[in-house]
A and B are shown apart, each in its own frame.
Chain A
Amino acid sequence: QKEVEQNSGPLSVPEGAIASLNCTYSDRGSQSFFWYRQYSGKSPELIMSIYSNGDKEDGRFTAQLNKASQYVSLLIRDSQPSDSATYLCAVKPGGSYIPTFGRGTSLIVHP
């Protein structure tokens, strides 16, 4: 069974700090990796996608992918209270268009 693992948290960081969210996956053939943000009572929204090893930056967000270690992370710089949400890691296995979601990590940014 293809699995995506995330620490459920909560991860608590002070405003202005860097929040680091981690995700590991079991299917070595996975091709596409996504981070979604979900506010309480709302549906997920896409933050970042990453497809090749290395870093991808978009504003305050940086996604990091290491396929050899089967590990993907999301860094949020200058964290704001509005970043407080659950962050879902999603991995699309090779040969499938259906991503597998992790259980999500709850992030709390306190003033």
Chain B
Amino acid sequence: GAVVSQHPSRVICKSGTSVKIECRSLDFQATTMFWYRQFPKKSLMLMATSNEGSKATYEQGVEKDKFLINHASLTLSTLTVTSAHPEDSSFYICSARVGGTVSGANVLTFGAGSRLTVL
């Protein structure tokens, strides 16, 4: 089946530094990937939709200059948390849409997630 690889799985960084998270579709091409954020015991919050070869679409309230998304190829999207602060500590999860069209039945496959801790 479709596999989405995400790394690093855990990262600890100092406040003010930047952290890059990679998300790769291993056996399929993903023109669209999604980045989610999840706080403990809370639901998934969609941050942005990453489109190959174009700018990402950010959800309301998500700072695009702080959460930089690059989708340079059909198999790789990256999320960079710039100038990270302790409040950015969270579980970041990417996903890719597998198959289908807008009107069709498509399924999201999730990466394993990246737990970011900012000291």
Contacts and interface: CB of A to CB of B under 8 A. Distances in A.
Contact of A98 (B49, B101, B111): B49
Given A31-B103, A96-B102, A97-B32, A45 B43 contact: no
A104 B102 contact: no
Given A34-B107, A49-B105, A88-B44, A97 B100 contact: yes
A98 B107 CA distance: 10
Contact of B108 (A94, A99, A104): A99
A98 B34 contact: yes
A95 interface: yes
Interface residues of A, number: 25
Contact of A104 (B43, B93, B106, B110): B43
A103 B111 CA distance: 19
Contacts of B6: 43
Given A34-B107, A97-B106, A102-B43, A43 B32 contact: no
Contacts of B49: 98
Contacts of B113: 42-43
Chain A interface secondary structure, helix, strand, loop or mixed?
Answer: loop
Given A88-B43, A97-B32, A101-B44, A32 B105 contact: yes
Nearest to B103: A31
A101 B111 CA distance: 16
Interface in B70-108: 91, 93, 97, 100-103, 105-108
B109 interface: yes
B118 interface: no
B112 interface: yes
B46 interface: yes
In the complex, the 8 A-B pairs of residues with the closest C-beta atoms, listed nearest first: A103-B43, A43-B113, A43-B110, A101-B44, A43-B93, A97-B102, A32-B105, A44-B110
19 contacts: A31-B105, A34-B108, A41-B91, A41-B115, A42-B112, A43-B6, A43-B110, A45-B110, A46-B107, A49-B105, A92-B106, A97-B100, A97-B102, A98-B34, A98-B49, A101-B43, A101-B44, A102-B43, A103-B42
